[in-house]
A and B are shown apart, each in its own frame.
Chain A
């Protein structure tokens, strides 16, 4: 059984996962989620870690409500009882500017999350694009 197959099977077993595409050359696993899922990125990191792999930067698409909490923009992800702190990506500073303009709206945020050593530690979402 190849490593790619192990990763593929493990990710497909997660409730709410629609499809998994593993690329060995890129060292990448692309996971598409079903509508109404309650999957979180740290949950996927934890799973990969349990299988003996080290998750790195993760590009995500997340739909949610933009809210302002203590002066900082956050994305409310109520399905997972999760609130993602949004931070600026130095390469896409203008996208972060769009965040404050869209507080109160439901948006899709494209961004990057970097796992911490402890997957239970909340990590921010670096904003690349707000749709």
Chain B
């Protein structure tokens, strides 16, 4: 149970960890656009190297990235195999209905590199940013929507609370499972139906305690006169500093290089 890490924050001290979370989110979106903007092999190579550089900058062990890649490797394989066989153009290899073309190979490479880059980049964000920083940044980035009467603060507060309680509930699940196992509950063997039924002794206490916690938290918040976002100040002020501007400048340079590669080179 402990292996399920939502948020996956990996504490370390790197440039990426210290960047303003708002900047990180915006830059992530920029890079994602760039990944799909790749028009030729050279620009694909460029973006792949950029992503690799970001991964190395994050000071998070590569093993952690491999772990997050492991989850999607099947998707990568299936999409690239499909692309491989459905390419158009002249066949370089044919065996029955299986027909491989240069176009197909090209598509397969593009698709898999793009997916891998996407996962690596978003992992880099979640590894280097704590969940609270992340929701904080999302709240700030969405704050213009408040003019449209979108309850931005409330949404962010709910996200923060939800994220805050993920580890708590996981821990609770662990404890309850241990307690039921101590009473001889069998959760590891048996048919599918048996296993589903074996979850009842875990889920019932879990829901009971989740509701109890929600109630207690609501009371505690009301006791401290919480009434939404109006007029609230924050403990951690987000402030852009020089490294954030450097990161943005580097990204702008990367965008420029990509435009050049895409327009000048044809491969």
Q: Do A and B come from one complex?
A: no
